[in-house]
Amino acid sequence: MNEINSTDYHDYVIKDGKLIAQFEQMYKNASDIPWRQNQQESWIDVRLTKELLADEKNISRIIDYGCGTGHYLDILVRGLGGNGLGFDISETAIVKAQNNFPNYSFKTGDLMNPNSFDVASINEESIHVIRGTLWYVFPKLSVVIKNIFDQMSSGDTLLVVQNFPPLSSNFVGKDVIPDPQTLISLIDKSTLSLQKSIWYEQFKDNANDSWFIGKFKK
Ligand SMILES: C[S@@+](CC[C@H](N)C(=O)[O-])C[C@H]1O[C@@H](n2cnc3c(N)ncnc32)[C@H](O)[C@@H]1O
């Protein structure tokens, strides 16, 4: 694999219509915090997710798969309570996340690799979250879903939050997840039942800023 020499995080993610997925190098070399993870508090999906989860109570733990620098996990824990646990494929991201949020736990783990998580089961409800990460793991989506499913206890929630490019455009991953309905059916297959969802579609420009938010129960 070619070494990438860039301080622009985009160069490590998707380039020229191809998935690059060099996240460890990205977190090491990027000059900015990738995806502006530290500035998401007012984003539309964050506001909509708050509404979707408004009646959640007694959350003991929130687990974020593909947690990056931990900022999104922190938004959820501040809103809902509980302990925070984050996993990411990048060791450098995990070190940054742990420095940012010393009260939560962070570990490396690969969503596309079977058995790479070890979430201890507890007697109270946990929320398992995957946000903004599916476009980087879609080649093994069934493994990703099973990996998370295997960490969930009965009664736990899975929150899937995913931005989409304009559905009519040609985007990387469209062959697997062409639209939110397909995503729902791919997740439903593995015995998680959809409880609520929001599809926020943005037609204004070509931005990657339409959002699917789904709450599933095991
Ligand atoms: C767009 S960021 C989302 C970060 C965070 N969830 C948020 O919403 O702010 C995607 C994250 O997924 C991580 N990631 C990519 N592929 C992964 C994999 N196979 N296993 C675990 N994490 C992965 C990347 O390192 C990156 O931190």
Radius of gyration of the chain (CA): 16
In a domain, 3, yes or no: no
CA distances from residue 59 to 45, 48, 62, 122, 161 in whole angstroms, order as listed: 20, 19, 8, 11, 18
Alpha-carbon distance of 188 to 161, in angstroms, equals 15
Answer yes or no: is the C-beta of 85 below 6 A from any ligand 1 atom: no
Question: Which of 215, 183, 192 shows the shortest CA–CA distance to 55?
Answer: 215
- If one counts the domains in the chain, the total is 1
Answer yes or no: is the C-beta of 90 below 6 A from any ligand 1 atom: yes
Answer whether 81's CB lies under 8 Å from 37's CB.
no
CB atoms within 10 A of CB 62: 27
Answer yes or no: is the C-beta of 131 below 6 A from any ligand 1 atom: yes
In a domain, 69, yes or no: yes
Instruction: Please tell me the predicted confidence (pLDDT) of residue 47.
Output: 97
pLDDT tens by residue, the chain, 218 residues: 568 989 999 999 999 999 999 999 999 999 999 999 999 999 999 999 999 999 888 899 999 999 999 999 999 999 999 999 999 999 999 999 999 999 999 999 999 999 889 998 888 889 999 999 999 999 999 999 999 999 999 999 999 999 999 999 999 999 999 999 999 999 977 689 999 999 999 988 788 899 999 999 99
In a domain, 197, yes or no: yes
Residue 68 alpha carbon, nearest atom of ligand 1: 27
> What is the distance in A from the centroid of ligand 1 to the CA of 159?
15
Question: Which of 216, 208, 215, 200 shows the shortest CA–CA distance to 45?
Answer: 200
The SS3 call for residue 116 is coil
Answer yes or no: is the C-beta of 110 below 6 A from any ligand 1 atom: yes
- Domain boundaries, position 46: 38-217
In a domain, 17, yes or no: no
Q: What is the CATH number of the domain that holds 53?
A: 3.40.50.150
Q: How many CA atoms lie within 13 A of 147 on its CB side?
A: 23
In a domain, 29, yes or no: no
DSSP state of 103: T
In a domain, 51, yes or no: yes
> What is the distance in A from the centroid of ligand 1 to the CA of 51?
24
In a domain, 181, yes or no: yes
In a domain, 24, yes or no: no
Instruction: Please tell me the predicted confidence (pLDDT) of residue 124.
Output: 86
Alpha-carbon distance of 18 to 171, in angstroms, equals 9
Q: Identify the residue whose C-alpha is closest to ligand 1 atom 16.
A: 136
> What is the distance in A from the centroid of ligand 1 to the CA of 80?
21
> What is the distance in A from the centroid of ligand 1 to the CA of 110?
10
